[in-house]
Amino acid sequence: MTFRGNGVAGFAKGRAFVVIDRGQRNPFEDIPPGSVLVAKTVSLSDSALINFKNVVGMVTEEEDLSGHVGLLARGIGIPAVTGLGGSLAQIYNGDRVLIRNLDVIINPDLATVEEFDSLRRAADPQLSLDLQ
């Protein structure tokens, strides 16, 4: 399943960490490393609660009308796709997520993952440098 939105284009591959219940003290505290944060929205006050060391990308249902999701993403160097209305009902914790520019691909097949890896290497030559 693929969604297209707006936001900060880029490449990310990880597992979905879906935040639905904001009644908890800090719904962002258990984000595992390599996660794509999926939420209805991410506010500036939320950003103080998020360990961005564990987040490789962000996906939100609501448009980023204020621009703060894009600002956060650019500041920490990760892609963020916004405006995916209804996507929370179709993305679950632990789903494999690819962000390819402004597309969000959920539970991709092997051919899609291989194409993603090829496009990512071509887009970012730094990833394929041999630093030994």
Model pLDDT, residue 125: 62
The CATH number of whichever domain residue 78 belongs to comes to: 3.50.30.10
Residue-wise pLDDT for 83-125, tens only, equals 888 878 889 999 999 999 889 999 999 999 999 888 888 877 6
In whole angstroms, what is the distance from residue 39 CA to residue 110 CA? 26
φ/ψ (deg, to 5) at 59? -135, 130
Residue-wise pLDDT for 26-61, tens only, equals 888 889 999 999 988 888 888 888 888 999 999 998
Say if residue 126's pLDDT is above 90. no
In whole angstroms, what is the distance from residue 46 CA to residue 123 CA? 31
What b/e string do you get for 87-104 counting C-beta neighbours within 10 Å, with b at 16 or more? bbeebeeebebbbbebeb
**Which range marks the domain in which residue 34 is found?**
2-128
pLDDT-derived band at 9 (thresholds 50, 70, 90) equals: confident
Q: By CB neighbour count within 10 A (0-12 exposed, 13-18 middle, 19+ buried), where does 84 fall?
A: buried
Model pLDDT, residue 130: 45
Q: By CB neighbour count within 10 A (0-12 exposed, 13-18 middle, 19+ buried), where does 10 fall?
A: buried
- Total domains in the chain come to 1
Say if residue 6's pLDDT is above 50. yes
- β-strands 2-4, 80-82 pairing: unpaired
Model pLDDT, residue 2: 81
